[in-house]
């Protein structure tokens, strides 16, 4: 099959759209017709110079939702016509990690596979996360497609693949925020706003949002933020959080990807039990820089990958929450574009002007 897909051809070169050939599903694989795909900062890292990558070209996109159109031999959990969310972390269901309640990081995720169903001019090419959702059709492993109920709009919930799972999951599944607790969220982009959603659903009563873009305040307050701090007009953000929460927040979430902000996040939590979840990806040259006593005083620092949500058995629950009106993904999507406009879409995302940009097919 011939498809038009968006890809990176090298570092510091703009994202392009071109024709590729796509193989049909082999054993254990399915063909998915894409309906919507979200743009994420980690796609940008393949062409903005921030990632050490050499295997170009690579088809981008790791957020997305669509409809199964064909199943390969041996596929047992999906049928043609199923609505699915594509997921970067597989859930094979049988490895030690999948059998454990402690993690969502399936062992298959770390196993080097060289599946290349896409090719260009006769040369096979990689796809980001073994997905490459910026294409109208994908061939993926059964383990990387999570079946969801058919009555939710796919363009609204496609963000579940990455930002939605990461944000909502970090609050509910990683930190396990409790009713009545206080939360501070550093960075109110697509992930930070989803942390706000998760914190609100978990019953947090004080939710402080910290962001340098005052335009984010309105949406953030609609989703549950009770206090908004613009660090450019507040010299002592940590002091302000401690004042609002009378001594420090119960939970902090770092969604920017900055060592300095991660340190602030930890310092703004309460002595004794304050828990910080690190979500933003620190640039390769940055190390976690903490005052040792900050942790000795009983605070905790946790990592989270895709919100600790098991991608096929638990993630579909979030689609149910959307259908029930508990999650407001419609508020998160600021722009819907066609694939031909993807370069402009990434400009919007990079400028901070957009909350979430979604390609619809
Ligand atoms: Zn992402
Ligand atoms: Zn597994």
Dist. CA 297 → ligand 2 center (Å): 36
Q: Tens of pLDDT along 291-301?
A: 999 999 999 99
Dist. CA 161 → ligand 1 center (Å): 8
Crossing angle of helices 237-244 and 259-267, in 10° steps, is: 30
Residue 24 has pLDDT above 80, yes or no: yes
Residue 274 has pLDDT above 80, yes or no: yes
Phi, psi of 168 (to 5 degrees): -60, -45
Task: Tell me the whole-structure pTM to 2 decimals.
Answer: 0.91
What is the pLDDT confidence band of residue 276, given thresholds at 50, 70 and 90? Answer: very high
Residue 251 has pLDDT above 90, yes or no: yes
Domain 2-163+308-360 adopts which CATH fold? Quinone Oxidoreductase; Chain A, domain 1 (3.90.180)
CA angle centred on 50, ends 186 and 346, rounded to 5°: 70
Dist. CA 162 → ligand 1 center (Å): 5
- Stretch 316-342: mean pLDDT: 93
State the ligand closest to the CA atom of 144. Answer: 2
The pLDDT score that the predictor gives to residue 95 is 96
Dist. CA 164 → ligand 1 center (Å): 9
Residue 223 has pLDDT above 80, yes or no: yes
Q: Tens of pLDDT along 80-96?
A: 999 999 999 999 999 99
Dist. CA 196 → ligand 1 center (Å): 17
Phi, psi of 242 (to 5 degrees): -65, -40
Spatial neighbors of 246 by CB under 8 A, at least 6 apart, are none
Dist. CA 135 → ligand 2 center (Å): 26
Dist. CA 73 → ligand 1 center (Å): 30
| 225 vs 14: CA distance, rounded Å | 36
Out of 42-56, 204-218, 255-269, pick the least confident. Answer: 42-56
Q: Tens of pLDDT along 143-171?
A: 999 999 999 999 999 999 999 999 999 99
The pLDDT score that the predictor gives to residue 112 is 76
Number of Cβ within a 10 Å radius of residue 204: 24
Dist. CA 167 → ligand 1 center (Å): 11
Tokens of 248: 């420090």
The pLDDT score that the predictor gives to residue 356 is 87
The pLDDT score that the predictor gives to residue 70 is 98
3-state secondary structure of 97: helix
Dist. CA 90 → ligand 2 center (Å): 7
Dist. CA 286 → ligand 1 center (Å): 20
Spatial neighbors of 276 by CB under 8 A, at least 6 apart, are 251, 252, 253, 254, 262, 265, 266, 269, 299, 300, 301, 302
Dist. CA 84 → ligand 2 center (Å): 18
CB-CB contact of 148 with 83 (8 Å)? yes
Cα dihedral sign for 148, 313, 75, 60? positive
State the ligand closest to the CA atom of 87. Answer: 1
Spatial neighbors of 329 by CB under 8 A, at least 6 apart, are 156, 157, 159, 160, 164, 322
Omega of the bond prior to 13 within 30 degrees of 0, cis?
no
| Mean pLDDT, rounded, of the chain | 95
What is the pLDDT confidence band of residue 331, given thresholds at 50, 70 and 90? Answer: confident
- DSSP percent split of the chain into helix, strand, coil, nearest 5: 30, 25, 45
The pLDDT score that the predictor gives to residue 190 is 86
What is the pLDDT confidence band of residue 358, given thresholds at 50, 70 and 90? Answer: very high
Q: Tens of pLDDT along 168-210?
A: 999 999 999 999 999 999 999 889 999 999 999 999 999 999 9
Domain 176-303 adopts which CATH fold? Rossmann fold (3.40.50)
% the chain with pLDDT above 90: 87
| 156 vs 65: CA distance, rounded Å | 9
């Amino acid at each position: 099959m011939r498809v038009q897909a968006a890809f990176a051809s090298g570092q510091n070169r703009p994202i392009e759209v071109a024709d590729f050939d796509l193989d049909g599903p082999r054993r254990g694989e399915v063909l998915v017709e894409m309906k919507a795909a979200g743009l994420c900062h980690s796609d940008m890292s393949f062409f903005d110079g921030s990632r050490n990558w050499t295997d170009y070209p690579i088809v981008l996109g790791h957020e997305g939702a669509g409809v199964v159109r064909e199943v390969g031999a041996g596929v047992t959990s999906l049928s043609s016509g199923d609505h699915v969310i594509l997921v970067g972390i597989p859930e094979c269901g049988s490895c030690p990690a999948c059998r454990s309640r402690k993690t969502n990081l399936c062992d298959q995720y770390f196993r080097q596979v060289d599946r290349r169903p896409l090719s260009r001019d006769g040369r096979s090419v990689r796809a980001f996360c073994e997905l490459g959702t910026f294409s109208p059709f994908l061939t993926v492993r059964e383990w990387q497609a999570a079946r969801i109920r058919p009555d939710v709009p796919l363009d609204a919930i496609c963000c579940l693949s990455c930002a939605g799972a990461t944000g909502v999951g970090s609050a509910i599944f990683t930190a396990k925020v409790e009713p009545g607790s206080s939360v501070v969220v550093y960075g109110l982009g697509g992930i930070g706003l989803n942390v706000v959603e998760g914190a609100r659903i978990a019953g947090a009563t004080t939710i402080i949002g910290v962001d340098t873009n005052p335009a984010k305040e309105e949406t953030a307050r609609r989703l549950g933020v009770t206090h908004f701090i613009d660090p450019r007009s507040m010299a002592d953000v940590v002091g302000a959080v401690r004042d609002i929460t009378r001594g420090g927040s119960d939970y902090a979430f770092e969604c920017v990807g900055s060592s300095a902000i991660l340190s602030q996040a930890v310092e703004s939590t309460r002595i004794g039990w304050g828990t910080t979840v690190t979500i933003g990806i620190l640039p390769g040259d940055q190390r976690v820089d903490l005052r040792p006593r900050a942790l000795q005083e009983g605070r905790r620092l946790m990592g989270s990958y895709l919100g600790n949500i098991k991608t096929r058995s638990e993630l579909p629950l979030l689609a149910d929450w959307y259908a029930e009106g508990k999650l407001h993904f419609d508020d998160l999507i600021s722009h819907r574009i066609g694939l031909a406009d993807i370069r402009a879409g990434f400009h919007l995302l990079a400028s901070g002007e957009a909350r979430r940009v979604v390609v619809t097919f």
